[in-house]
């Protein structure tokens, strides 16, 4: 798709440039007095959390934002493979794939040895993330991703919309009430800053609060959570441009290093014309902020022209620009419990996204770490609020996501040092100059982390089974369920199995059959299915509420090696009757075949088969042999409530 030809216009890219208008904020209404979950901030973390919770009619959610309306100009633009997979869980990946710029190759530019005042391309390479997911790393305005999440919220069963123009004045957590899960220990006070009722104060009580309100988080400050880390005392400019240029790689992600004037990282943007430039500026003195440089966008453009000599940049329009300083910081804790939580307290207040980790934007990790933060937290909050899981489940958010934040900070520190042509204040000024080859090696080495596909969680009561990893080597325990296609038995349609794991709070069990026929009553699969369906110790029987569909809590799928299966000969449990009419679900059974052989692609043991248990956030929770009925029950018994 192409857009922005005659100027940048935000909004729905399905509407032509000439007719596109920015989304308007909803009408101002009073805040509710009492909610289950209060979300502060409408960034990617806040909206991803609200999008999940909006699907539960029995959970009352409120999301509040200080700005007067939806984001129009996005600070973040990169959408990683893993974020695309999460957006598929929200049923809107197709729109992003269609609209975004897809990154397929990188170009590297260095000073020309014969004319060092000029830059010269050294080489191009395919993007290192290709093949790590069925999705490609893409670039799109952050505001467009927000819009898709907002649409999903509004069209949900709860019709959730944000409350804009609210500034958090005070947040109080009553420590005497936090361990009473029926209580509302959170009291938040907001000031309205809209033109009509400016300075009106509103108070809301909540059972849980999540601060998704950015690097200067008021929630974090009210919880007295410190940020730990440092600044590199290095300033960069960033700008989204419509320009005319003779630079040949203007539509290729490029790393550009000049001899004397600094570096540029160039990111093509969606629509075919827009491009983003990150421009290396000067060192900052101690305690100096980037905002104090008093540079204009013209200064940044002039610097970019110097770096990209001999090529010309004729800038026609600046859609957005900013100056930032490089720094890496992570919150000492991600919730309201003490560091290490020695008393095993149940957290009631959380921070997510930029509120608990800050870094430079060049690696594209901000949105792509923030959104998975709350994708991790959302299903846990829902499970506890609905009484399906023990509240200790909430303790795993901090332990799982803080480790990822630390990895992010370390990677960003390395990336920032490599991209720059001159050392930061924290480095030895005499250190060897980095080259674009160093950048290429780093990207190749860190490709799984950059894509988000290799991020995994440590062993816990919701991540275990390492002793059975050899049964499915391609489904790494703790990492996301790496999707692959299989053919549906009922109608022959190819289906990506990972796309079956939607953001609806349900657990999934994928049964990968062995070489025994599943219709043979003596086979391992037949016995497993009968156990799941009817045994009193089955987690499906134990944790599915009376009167609800059999897959309403734990959704079971089966993938077989046999090619001649008939759906009507398989156990009823694999094509169950559901809903008020008892209609059959024909979309739970698949088989592998040449070209769609998930057994080969994901290293599944053909002779023994296995079960792969997948969490509601798409991460692999356990791998078990087909006959491990008791172990499967014990796994769910650790955290679920009958």
pLDDT interval class at 245 (50, 70, 90): very high
Q: What is the CA radius of gyration of the chain?
A: 26
- What mean pLDDT is predicted for residues 22-31? 89
Both tokens of 175, joined, read 């420590």
- Vertex 382 angle, CA 377 and 385, to 5°: 120
CA distance 353 to 39: 12
pLDDT interval class at 361 (50, 70, 90): low
Q: What pLDDT, on a 0 to 100 scale, did the predictor assign at position 433?
A: 61
The DSSP 8-state label assigned to residue 480 in this structure reads B
State percent of the chain over pLDDT 90.
Answer: 81
Q: What pLDDT, on a 0 to 100 scale, did the predictor assign at position 229?
A: 86
Angle between helices 44-53 and 142-154 (to 10 degrees): 20
Residue-range domains of the chain with CATH: 34-100+139-227+331-404 (3.50.50.60), 228-329+410-448 (3.30.9.10), 466-637 (3.40.30.20)
Q: Give yes or no for residue 189 having a pLDDT over 70.
A: yes
CA distances from 638 to 101, 544, 551, 630 (A): 44, 16, 20, 13
CA-based nearest residue to 165, from 195, 138, 143? 195
Q: What pLDDT, on a 0 to 100 scale, did the predictor assign at position 231?
A: 66
What is the total residue count of the chain? 642
- What mean pLDDT is predicted for residues 467-490? 98
Both tokens of 494, joined, read 């190819």
For the stretch 437-457, pLDDT in tens is 888 888 888 888 888 999 999
- Vertex 452 angle, CA 448 and 457, to 5°: 95
Between these two residues, 283 and 128, which has the higher pLDDT value? 128
CA distances from 36 to 183, 186, 386, 527, 587 (A): 10, 10, 11, 41, 34
- CB 139, CB 269: distance < 8 Å: yes
- CB 257, CB 436: distance < 8 Å: yes
Q: What pLDDT, on a 0 to 100 scale, did the predictor assign at position 611?
A: 98
Q: What pLDDT, on a 0 to 100 scale, did the predictor assign at position 82?
A: 96
SS3 content of the chain, % helix, strand, coil (to 5): 25, 25, 45
Q: Is 548 exposed, middle or buried (0-12, 13-18, 19+ CB in 10 A)?
A: exposed
CA-based nearest residue to 108, from 437, 337, 346, 465? 437
- What mean pLDDT is predicted for residues 430-443? 73
Both tokens of 70, joined, read 């939806």
Q: Give yes or no for residue 110 having a pLDDT over 70.
A: yes
Sorted by sequence, the CB contacts under 8 Å of residue 542 that are 6+ apart come out as: 536, 633, 636, 637, 640, 642
- Rounded to 10 degrees, the C-alpha dihedral 23/24/29/35 comes to 10
- What mean pLDDT is predicted for residues 183-189? 98
CA distance 357 to 98: 30
- CB 463, CB 457: distance < 8 Å: yes
- Rounded to 10 degrees, the C-alpha dihedral 25/28/30/32 comes to -20
Q: What pLDDT, on a 0 to 100 scale, did the predictor assign at position 428?
A: 45
Sorted by sequence, the CB contacts under 8 Å of residue 13 that are 6+ apart come out as: 1, 3, 20, 99, 144, 270, 271
Q: What pLDDT, on a 0 to 100 scale, did the predictor assign at position 130?
A: 87
Between these two residues, 283 and 151, which has the higher pLDDT value? 151
Task: Count CB-CB contacts under 10 A for residue 199.
Answer: 8
Q: Give yes or no for residue 173 having a pLDDT over 60.
A: yes
Q: What is the pTM of this model?
A: 0.94
Question: Helix, strand, or coil here: 519?
Answer: coil
Reading phi first (left if > 0) and then psi (alpha if -120 to 50, else beta), residue 27 is in: beta
Q: Compute the mean pLDDT over every residue in the chain, rounded to the nearest whole number.
A: 93
- What mean pLDDT is predicted for residues 312-329? 90
pLDDT interval class at 541 (50, 70, 90): very high
For the stretch 329-346, pLDDT in tens is 999 999 999 999 999 999
- 471: preceding bond cis by omega (within 30 degrees): no
Q: What pLDDT, on a 0 to 100 scale, did the predictor assign at position 10?
A: 87
- CB 55, CB 503: distance < 8 Å: yes
Q: Give yes or no for residue 429 having a pLDDT over 70.
A: no
Sorted by sequence, the CB contacts under 8 Å of residue 60 that are 6+ apart come out as: 32, 34, 35, 36, 37
CA-based nearest residue to 553, from 540, 534, 537, 538? 540
Q: What pLDDT, on a 0 to 100 scale, did the predictor assign at position 424?
A: 45
């Amino acid at each position: 798709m192409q857009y922005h030809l005659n100027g940048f216009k935000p909004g729905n890219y399905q509407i032509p440039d000439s007719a596109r208008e920015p989304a308007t904020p909803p009408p101002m209404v009073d805040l509710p007095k009492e909610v289950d979950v209060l979300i502060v901030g409408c960034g990617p973390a806040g909206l991803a959390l609200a999008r999940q919770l909006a699907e539960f009619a029995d959970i009352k959610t409120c999301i509040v934002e200080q700005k007067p309306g939806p984001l129009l100009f996005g600070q973040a633009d990169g959408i990683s493979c893993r974020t695309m997979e999460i957006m598929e869980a929200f049923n809107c990946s197709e729109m992003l794939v269609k609209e975004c710029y897809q990154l397929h190759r990188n170009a590297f530019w260095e000073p020309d040895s014969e004319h060092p005042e000029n830059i010269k391309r050294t080489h191009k390479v395919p993007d290192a993330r290709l093949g790590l997911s069925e999705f490609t790393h893409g670039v799109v305005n952050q505001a467009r991703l927000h819009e898709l999440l907002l649409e999903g919220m509004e069209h949900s069963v709860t019709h959730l919309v944000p409350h804009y123009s609210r500034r958090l004045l005070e947040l109080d957590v009553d420590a005497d009430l936090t361990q009473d899960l029926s209580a509302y220990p959170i009291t938040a006070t907001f000031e309205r800053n809209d033109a009509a009722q400016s300075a009106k104060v509103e108070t809301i009580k909540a059972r849980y609060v999540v601060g998704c309100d950015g690097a200067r988080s008021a929630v974090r400050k009210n919880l007295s959570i410190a940020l730990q880390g440092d600044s590199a005392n290095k300033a960069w400019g960033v700008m989204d441009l419509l320009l005319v240029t003779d630079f040949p790689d203007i539509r290729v992600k490029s790393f550009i290093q000049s001899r004397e004037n600094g570096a540029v990282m160039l990111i093509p943007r969606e629509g075919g014309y827009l491009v983003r430039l990150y421009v290396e500026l000067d060192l900052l003195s101690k305690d100096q902020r980037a905002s104090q440089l008093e540079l204009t966008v013209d200064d940044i453009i002039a610097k970019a022209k110097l770096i990209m000599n001999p090529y010309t940049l004729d800038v026609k329009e600046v859609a957005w620009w900013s100056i930032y300083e490089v720094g890496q910081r992570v919150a000492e804790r991600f919730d309201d419990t003490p560091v290490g939580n020695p008393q095993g307290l149940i957290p009631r207040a959380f921070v997510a996204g930029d509120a608990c980790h800050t870094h430079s934007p060049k690696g594209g990790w901000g949105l792509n770490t923030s959104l998975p933060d709350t994708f991790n937290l959302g299903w846990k909050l829902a499970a506890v609020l609905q009484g399906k899981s023990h509240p200790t489940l909430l303790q795993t958010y901090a332990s799982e996501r803080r480790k990822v934040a630390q990895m992010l900070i370390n990677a960003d520190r390395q990336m920032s040092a490599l991209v720059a042509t001159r050392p930061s204040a924290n480095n030895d000024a005499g250190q060897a100059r980095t080259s674009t080859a160093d950048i290429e090696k780093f990207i190749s080495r860190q490709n799984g982390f950059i894509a988000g596909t290799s991020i995994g969680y440590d062993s816990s009561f919701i991540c275990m089974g390492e002793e059975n990893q050899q049964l499915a080597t391609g489904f790494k325990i703790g990492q996301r369920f790496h999707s692959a296609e299989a053919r549906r038995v009922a109608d022959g349609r190819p289906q990506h199995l990972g796309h079956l794991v939607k953001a609806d709070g349900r657990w999934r069990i994928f049964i990968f059959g062995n070489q025994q026929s599943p219709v043979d009553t003596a086979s391992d699969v037949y016995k497993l299915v009968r156990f799941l369906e009817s045994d009193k110790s089955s987690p499906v029987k134990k944790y599915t509420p009376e009167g609800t569909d059999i897959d309403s809590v734990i959704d079971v799928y089966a993938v077989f090696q046999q090619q001649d299966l008939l759906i009507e000969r398989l156990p009823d449990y694999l094509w169950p009757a559901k809903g008020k009419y008892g209609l059959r679900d024909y979309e739970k059974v698949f088989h592998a075949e040449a070209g769609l052989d998930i057994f080969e692609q994901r290293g599944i043991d053909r002779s023994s088969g296995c079960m792969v248990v997948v969490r509601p956030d798409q991460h692999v929770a356990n791998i078990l042999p087909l006959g491990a009925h008791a172990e499967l029950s014990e796994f769910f018994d650790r955290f679920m409530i009958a």
